Amino acid sequence: MRIADVTLAHWVNRQLAQTSKRYQDASVQATTGRRVNAPSDDPVAAAEELRQKSQLEQTGDYRKNVAAVQGDMELAESTLAQAGDVLARVREITVKASNGSVNADERAVMSDEVEELRQTLLWLANVKGSRGTLFGGTLTDGPAFDGSGNFVGNDTEQRVAVGPGTTVATNPSGALAFTAAGGRDLFADLATLRDALAGNDVDAVRASLDAIEAGQTQLSRERAHTGVVLERLSTSDMALEQVEAQLQKNQQAEVGVDLTEAYSKLVDVGQTLERSVAIARQILDIGDLSRF
């Protein structure tokens, strides 16, 4: 082969290799939907993608935090609502028992019901969520109240991060909901009413009404507070979702490709490669360029 032919063959091979490389790159972009598949493709874009990926992971962690406590707070709100229903029934009994026409035997039956309601309230106060006892503060492994209705938890807040430098208290206060810290000791008040009914002490029964109504207000107040926390958690999650979507959009803009354009480019480069192979065969009069 003459020197000119060798030079021509090298040139043809180089052109085919370059076109083949363009085809491979176009194929990778069309398949992955990315223009940056290695740091060497665009070091600046690759570094920016890593930064955004880190932010996405952190945002995802915040959303997991919110999801982990939302269920417990919803359960707490529901539990406080049920506790309110218990006191509403206790109030009905108190009003009825205050009537002078009710006899001692009837009040004794009411006393038994009040004790059953007191035990129901105690059970509600010790309800457990996914993170343990709901109303025990940070003491979540055991009951918040003992069998006598004494508070054995604490009133320490459990806080979770929902954003950079932002935390939310995510446990309802058992102390404010059920004990004198919130105004009335509900279990003591129900025990007093129970005993008054059992002793057929009408004056003591009537005197219990204000305490029961104050207890209802107390539970409603803590339920409202729980609702506020739930609303804040929901708002935080929506904000985090928007941040997540924007980061994903930025990431796509930084390293992604338009798939329609990518496939169109792949077809064009593929056709160019086919023509280049055909022309090379004609120029060099060789039969096997299949490696391209």
- The 10s digit of each residue's pLDDT in 231-243 is 989 998 898 889 8
Query: 155 or 258: whose pLDDT is higher?
Result: 155
Q: How confident is the model at residue 18 (pLDDT cuts 50, 70, 90)?
A: low
**The pLDDT value given to residue 179:** 97
Contact (CB, 8 A) for 90 and 114: yes
The structural architecture, per CATH, of the domain 67-251 is Up-down Bundle (1.20)
| Among 9-23, 37-51, 180-194, the least confident range | 9-23
Burial class (CB in 10 A: 0-12, 13-18, 19+), 163: middle
Segment holding 33, helix H or strand E: none
Separation between Cα atoms, residue 190 and residue 193, nearest integer Å: 5
Question: What letter would DSSP give residue 168?
Answer: E
Question: What letter would DSSP give residue 181?
Answer: G
Q: Alpha-carbon torsion 83, 84, 87, 93, what sign?
A: negative
Q: How confident is the model at residue 107 (pLDDT cuts 50, 70, 90)?
A: very high
**The length of the chain, given as a count of residues:** 292
* 216 Cβ neighbours under 8 A, 6+ residues apart: 84, 87, 88, 91
Q: How confident is the model at residue 225 (pLDDT cuts 50, 70, 90)?
A: very high
pLDDT at 269 over 50: no
Q: So where are the chain's domains?
A: 3-51+257-284, 67-251
Give pLDDT tens digits for 181-207. 999 999 999 999 999 999 999 999 999
